[in-house]
Chains A and B, each alone.
Chain A
Amino acid sequence: MSKLAIEHVSRTFPGVRRGAPTRALEPIDLAVADNDFVTILGPSGCGKSTLLRLVAGLDRPSSGRIVLDGAPVREPGPDRGMVFQSYTLFPWLTVADNIAFGLREKGVARERRSEVVREWLGRIGLTGFGHHYPKQLSGGMQQRTAIARALANDPAILLLDEPFGALDNQTRGLMQELLLGIWERERKTVLFVTHDIEEAIFLASRVVVMTARPGRIKADVAIDLPHPRPYTIKTSPEFSALKARLTEEIRVEAVLAAEGH
Chain B
Amino acid sequence: MKPLAPISKTARVALGILFFVLFFAAWGYATLGGYVSKTFLADPLTMVEEGWLLLTKHGFLYDIAITIWRVLGGFVLAALVAVPVGILMGAYKPIEAFFEPFVSFARYLPASAFIPLLILWAGLGELQKLLVIFIGSVFQIVLMVAITVAGVRRDLVEAALTLGARDRGILGRVLIPASAPEIAECLRLVLGWAWTYVIVAELIGSSSGIGHMIIDSQALLATGQIIFGIIVIGVIGLISDFLFKWANRRLFPWSLA
Contacts and interface: CB of A to CB of B under 8 A. Distances in A.
B149 to A, nearest CB: 14
B243 to A, nearest CB: 22
5 contacts: A57-B161, A76-B162, A88-B155, A92-B252, A105-B164
B174 A78 contact: no
Interface of A: 56-58, 75-78, 80-82, 84, 86, 88, 90-93, 101-102, 105-106, 133-135, 146, 149-150, 153, 159
A134 B178 CA distance: 13
**Closest 4 pairs (CB-CB, A-B):** A78-B164, A102-B163, A76-B161, A82-B162
Contacts, number: 73
Interface of B: 153, 155-156, 158-166, 169, 173-174, 177-178, 180, 252-255
Contacts of A90: 156, 159-160, 174, 177-178
Contact of B163 (A91, A134, A135, A153): A153
A86 B155 contact: yes
Contact of A78 (B155, B162, B253, B255): B162
A66 B218 CA distance: 77
A43 to B, nearest CB: 23
Contacts of B180: 92
B162 A58 contact: yes
Given A86-B155, A105-B169, A105-B173, A91 B255 contact: yes
A228 B244 CA distance: 56
B253 to A, nearest CB: 7
Given A77-B164, A84-B158, A134-B254, 5 more contacts: A58-B158, A82-B158, A84-B155, A92-B177, A133-B253
Given A90-B177, A92-B252, A102 B164 contact: yes
A133 B254 contact: yes
A88 B159 contact: yes
Contacts of A58: 158, 161-162
A101 B155 contact: no
Among A81, A92, A102, A150, find the residue whose CB has the most chain B CB atoms closer than 10 A.
Answer: A92
A92 B162 contact: no
A133 B254 CA distance: 6
Contacts of B253: 133
A81 B254 contact: no
B156 A150 contact: no
